[in-house]
Amino acid sequence: MCKRLKKDVFKIMPIISLKQQKNDTLSKEIKALPPPKTAYVPLCSSRRENLVATVSVGDTVTPFVTLSQPESGKGSPVNSPFFGKVISIKKFVIPAVGKLPCAEIEVKNTAEQHPDRETAKPEDFSKEEIMDACMRAGIVDELDGRRLWEKLAEASRSGLAAVAVDAVEDDLYSSAGLCVLMNYGGEVAKGLILAGIAANLAERFIAVYSDKSWDEKINESYGGLPVRRFEGKYPQNHKLRKDLDAKGGGIAIGPQAARALYRAVTQNEMQTHTIVTVAGDCVLRSGNYLVPVGMPVGELLYHAGASEQAQLILAGGYIRGIPVTQDTPVYQGLTAVIAVREADKKASVPCIGCGSCASVCPVGLMPNYILEQLAGGHYSMVGGDAIGCIGCGLCTLVCPSKIYVSAGVAKVKKEILELNKFHMEERSDVYGKR
């Protein structure tokens, strides 16, 4: 194992100044989309999850009915966002996860929103009540695609001190997290308090990426919890880790996950929708959309007025995103779909050894070397280094051969984490992607 890991000496240098492209989407209200005619609802959130389908082809489903549940009986189910009929169970590729079984549903309608009930204060709920509601609601944390209850249970066992809402969206267009904070800051803060109670984390705060174009729209605090602002060159999201370490260690959760926790505990609401930024130079009606899980990305782009000139659709952001097709279903945890005119970024030529990826890597890795070893199956040679990757995507951005360098490094990191299960895994839970 790489000694650098144990010493934790990775130094992160923010690299490039990005002119943020969030003004347009942040100036609009979140728009709820109508249900698709046909939806493809993923029946689990990762390949590690052992969920079994509880519906069969021909079954009628109603909103919040269980579509799949953990084999062991412990864990989160997947709940239907729709009234409709199950047509088939098909596999679809979910970015950074792989092929997952999805229930193809002929949709009749979505659930109606019910007015909020009178609620008690977060402090009135016990740890057990919060964890139970979190599990039942099937909440996935958009930061890393993990089940929220699992993260909270691990944090509780690890004796950490802090929990933060991570709304540090430093990627170019992505603004779903900021938008959720601006519109539902009170609920996000209450969800954060509930997460703190569930995992015994007394220090609680909210982190955002600061820019003069939207700074005034962000409060100094929400629900009494302070807002920490990070600013400067890209990437910025690693700074939250330092803050958490300084407070004795902790975890970060997404604004949508925090809000979903609040709504699960107080309203018994299931997480069946996600708020997604749809933007890019091919999108006419860019904005933040409330989307039912299972809607094909192509239909989401249609609602947002994406033109046919879009040559590249990225799920997850412009810099960190992964190419998807129009058929890819919207999955829990998806927060950005970016459609751009750029030519296909898939590798058209092999690595030319220019070293650009190494020159921009904020943690000083040699991504081209890691890819070389990956091709030869030599994980152990480079795995330790790959662990330091913060998933910023800069190596992919600058690669003249249009290679998805960051995806290769992420693959090595994931393999090594799963093989070794060492301490850094907790950190990847906070910052890494699936």
CB nearer to ligand SF4: give 16 or 30: 16
Shortest distance, position 373 Cβ to ligand SF4, whole Å = 13
Out of 55, 339, 399, 430, the residue judged to bind ligand SF4 by CB under 6 A: 399
The answer to the question of residue 84 lying near ligand SF4 (CB under 6 A) is no
What distance in Å separates the CA atoms of residue 307 and residue 129, rounded to the nearest whole number? 47
Which residue in 384, 364, 385, 381 sits closest to 373, CA to CA? 381
Count of positions on this chain that bind ligand SF4 (CB under 6 A): 29
How far from 421 is each of 105, 213, 331, 383, CA to CA, in Å? 38, 42, 27, 12
Token pair of 76, please?
């989160």
The answer to the question of residue 280 lying near ligand SF4 (CB under 6 A) is no
Beta strands 250-253 and 162-167: pairing type? parallel
What distance in Å separates the CA atoms of residue 54 and residue 81, rounded to the nearest whole number? 15
Shortest distance, position 298 Cβ to ligand SF4, whole Å = 28
What distance in Å separates the CA atoms of residue 424 and residue 420, rounded to the nearest whole number? 10
What distance in Å separates the CA atoms of residue 147 and residue 176, rounded to the nearest whole number? 19
Point out which span in 130-138, 252-260, 376-384, 393-401 binds ligand SF4 (CB under 6 A): 393-401
Which residue in 189, 75, 51 sits closest to 131, CA to CA? 75
Amino acid at 426: E
Amino acid at 241: R
Out of 52, 290, 352, 419, the residue judged to bind ligand SF4 by CB under 6 A: 352
The answer to the question of residue 343 lying near ligand SF4 (CB under 6 A) is no
The answer to the question of residue 401 lying near ligand SF4 (CB under 6 A) is yes
CB nearer to ligand SF4: give 265 or 403: 403
Point out which span in 207-215, 245-253, 269-277, 389-397 binds ligand SF4 (CB under 6 A): 389-397
The answer to the question of residue 403 lying near ligand SF4 (CB under 6 A) is yes
Out of 206, 270, 291, 395, the residue judged to bind ligand SF4 by CB under 6 A: 395
> What binding mask, one character per residue, do residues 354-383 give for ligand SF4 by CB under 6 A, x or -?
xxxx--xxxx-x-xx---------------
Shortest distance, position 267 Cβ to ligand SF4, whole Å = 38
The answer to the question of residue 409 lying near ligand SF4 (CB under 6 A) is yes
| CB 278 within 8 Å of CB 294 | no
Which residue in 22, 94, 169 sits closest to 331, CA to CA? 94
The answer to the question of residue 400 lying near ligand SF4 (CB under 6 A) is yes
Token pair of 39, please?
């939806």
CB nearer to ligand SF4: give 80 or 406: 406
What DSSP state is assigned to residue 226?
E
Element (H, E) at 82: strand 82-94
CB nearer to ligand SF4: give 122 or 321: 321
Point out which span in 62-70, 299-307, 324-332, 349-357 binds ligand SF4 (CB under 6 A): 349-357
Amino acid at 373: Q
Residues in contact with ligand SF4 by the rule CB under 6 A: 351-357, 360-363, 365, 367-368, 389-395, 398-401, 403, 405-406, 409
